[in-house]
Amino acid sequence: MLDERTARFLHLKYSEFYRASSLRVERVEQREFGFGDFENAIVKRHIGFRNSRVFNQYLAASAPASVSVSSAFYSLPEARPMEKKGWLGSELVFDLDASDLHLPCQQKHGRSWVCSTCLDSVKRETIKLVEDFLVPDFGISKGSISINFSGNRGYHVHVSDRRFYPLKAGERKQITDYVTGTGLSLKSLFPTLGERETDEESGGKRYKTLRGPKYRDPGWRGKLAAAVISALNSGYEALVKMGVDAPTAKRLIRNKANIIFGITTGNWDQIDIPHKERFWANALGSIAISQTSAIDRNVTSGIEHLIRLPGTLHPGTGLQAKPVQDVESFDPMKAAPFFRDGHVRVKTTKVPEFSMNGLPFGPFDGKTVELPTYAAVYLILKKTAVLA
């Protein structure tokens, strides 16, 4: 729980933000809204607004710590229980969070902190989702995809393509299974894997030729072929990273030209590796989207889910959940701090080095320091500092 002085300080800051901003929500009158405090993202929900003006007036007056919106459209967004709302369809939404990526840096700084490696990795994952799956495999135009910084450790990808609006939970689950490679069987990619046949000359048994995906095959087949070719071209390190042992990796590199030629025609016989299962699991894992925990939270498959409203402040960081124009060059710690005026004195606990607004801060360990307001708010909400 926040003490009274901190709660008042934060409320004042969030009020400044909502009085200065005007948010636009598409089909606002058909959305369900949820509001929360600094402890719980959603304290009340089933709230609707007639139009943007009323909605923005409400935000300016109440300065909520957390604002969420339904990815669904309803004829009666305020009705309860859910069945009475009159569901009209839902946008397709993906939630990518650095804490789902199980990065080595998180063991050092913990799951609630976020470093530049975390932010960069989750950005790569977001680009992969859009460029390798949504656009080529689902035929979604870039114009109907909007990427939003989550305000903390990740990105939300909103697809506003009407073809997806009617999909029910089960169908949405199939989409998440596809992008995460869940339930993908090696046997479907390599039909002759592990099968033997009789050698006509010797009469003995031998493995059948390993037939597999070709480079230009659609969907997962082509992605797998491309990933293995790219690992071979990147060299030794890339293969070892995929679970190939050192002597095998050297042998594969020596045979690279033959192997790549084979893969382009669908013949994978040349890629003879011990511990195949681990290699394939790693190869598939490197292509798939790591979104497992977000699926558990039902973000994509849940048609009734509420997600942070783009443009609002995050209750755990004070950062703005900014719509992202150019994801490649987007740096959340530069673009998302809002409280750029003034300084605030805070007493820190253990805080790793970090950078905001292009400036380096920390590391701190119990020191009382004067910080720009955005950095002070960030540390207070990350529970690594208190007002001094």
Give the CA angle between residues 52, 54, 55 to the nearest 5°.
60
Q: Residue 57's CB: how many other CB atoms inside 10 A?
A: 12
Nearer to Zn ion, 63 or 115 (CB): 115
Q: How far is the CB of 115 from Zn ion (least distance, A)?
A: 3
**300 neighbors 95 (Cβ within 8 angstroms):** yes
Which residues contact residue 201 at a Cβ distance below 8 angstroms, ignoring those fewer than 6 apart? none
Nearer to Zn ion, 159 or 336 (CB): 336
CA distance 200 to 290: 46
Residue 181 phi/psi, 5-degree rounding, is 65, 25
Nearer to Zn ion, 5 or 124 (CB): 124
Q: How far is the CB of 97 from Zn ion (least distance, A)?
A: 12
Nearer to Zn ion, 111 or 276 (CB): 111
Nearest to 29 by CA among 12, 6, 51: 51
Cis ω before 213 (30° cut-off from 0): no
Nearer to Zn ion, 85 or 153 (CB): 153
Q: How many CA atoms lie within 13 A of 172 on its CB side?
A: 24
Q: How far is the CB of 342 from Zn ion (least distance, A)?
A: 29
331 in helix, strand or coil? Answer: coil
Interface residues toward Zn ion, by CB under 5 A: 105, 115, 117-118
Nearer to Zn ion, 98 or 145 (CB): 98
Nearer to Zn ion, 117 or 192 (CB): 117
Q: How far is the CB of 274 from Zn ion (least distance, A)?
A: 34
Q: How far is the CB of 121 from Zn ion (least distance, A)?
A: 8
Q: How far is the CB of 279 from Zn ion (least distance, A)?
A: 27
Nearer to Zn ion, 105 or 184 (CB): 105
What is the radius of gyration, based on Cα positions, of the chain? 25
CA distance 249 to 240: 7
Contacts of range 186-193, beta carbons closer than 8 Å, 24 or more positions apart = 186/280, 189/213, 189/220, 189/221, 189/224, 190/268
Q: How far is the CB of 314 from Zn ion (least distance, A)?
A: 17
- Characterize 235-244 residue by residue with b for buried, 16 or more Cβ atoms within 10 angstroms of its Cβ, and e for exposed: eeebbeebbb
Lookup: tokens for 208: 């059948």
Q: How far is the CB of 117 from Zn ion (least distance, A)?
A: 5
**161 neighbors 142 (Cβ within 8 angstroms):** no
Q: How far is the CB of 64 from Zn ion (least distance, A)?
A: 29
Phi-psi region of 292 (alpha: psi -120 to 50; beta: other; left: phi over 0): alpha
Nearer to Zn ion, 118 or 242 (CB): 118
User: CB nearest Zn ion: which residue?
Assistant: 105
**66 neighbors 59 (Cβ within 8 angstroms):** no
